Amino acid sequence: MPTIYEQLELHEGLKRKPYKDSVGKLTIGIGRNLDDKGITKQEAKYLCQNDVKDVVNQLADYKWFCKLDPVRQKVLIDMGFNLGVPGLLQFKNMVQALKDNQFIAAANEMKNSKWHHQVGKRALRLEEMMKNNEDYKE
């Protein structure tokens, strides 16, 4: 006997990207109405955890990343989350500075980018973390 979940998937379909349903509501998954219901804080954190794991798994392929201390890894995970890992890897001079253990230079490369102007305080916080190897203060 099919479960209710299988029945709902049969009737609603399963879409991994947002779409407009038959009445124009933004929907995702198996009929989740994002316009009216949205997602819970717990669901948002679950999605974020999965996205962070994905970024970490991608960055773990790079020896230079694995050799960094946890604070600087956290900076790159944040940037990879924001830009996607391919976007992060476009910071070629920053990556080279990291390979050379030149952390002030890496922070300067972050500062001298379009990204810096796009993300505001996030960039300032991450640049300080990169330079000083100290986590941010709330």
Residue 86, in any domain of the structure:
yes
pLDDT digits (tens, 9 = 90+) for 11-51: 999 999 999 999 999 999 999 999 999 999 999 999 999 99
Residue 109, in any domain of the structure:
yes
pLDDT at 137: 83
Shared domain check, 84 and 123: yes
Residue 138, in any domain of the structure:
no
What is the mean pLDDT of the segment spanning 73-80?
98
Between the alpha carbon of residue 28 and those of residues 1, 41, 54, 122, the distances in Å are 26, 16, 20, 29
pLDDT at 107: 98
Residue 86 clears pLDDT 90, i.e. is over it = yes
Shared domain check, 64 and 8: no
Shared domain check, 84 and 103: yes
What is the mean pLDDT of the segment spanning 66-82?
98
Residue 103 clears pLDDT 80, i.e. is over it = yes
Residue 104 clears pLDDT 90, i.e. is over it = yes
What is the mean pLDDT of the segment spanning 40-64?
98
pLDDT at 138: 75
Q: In this structure, is the dihedral angle defined by the CA atoms of residues 108, 112, 113 and 119, taken in order, positive or negative?
A: positive
Shared domain check, 108 and 82: yes
Label residue 65 by pLDDT band (50, 70, 90).
Answer: very high
Shared domain check, 127 and 60: yes
**Which range of residues forms the domain containing residue 16?**
4-33
Q: What is the CATH number of the domain that holds 93?
A: 1.10.530.40
Between the alpha carbon of residue 45 and those of residues 40, 77, 84, the distances in Å are 9, 16, 18
Shared domain check, 124 and 80: yes
Label residue 118 by pLDDT band (50, 70, 90).
Answer: very high
- Our count of domains for the chain comes to 2
Is 115:99 a contact under the CB 8 Å cutoff? no
Tell me how far the alpha carbon of residue 13 is from its chain's centroid.
27
Shared domain check, 100 and 47: yes
What is the C-alpha to C-alpha distance for residues 130 and 11, in angstroms, rounded to an integer? 50
Residue 77, in any domain of the structure:
yes
Between the alpha carbon of residue 126 and those of residues 9, 133, 137, the distances in Å are 42, 10, 11
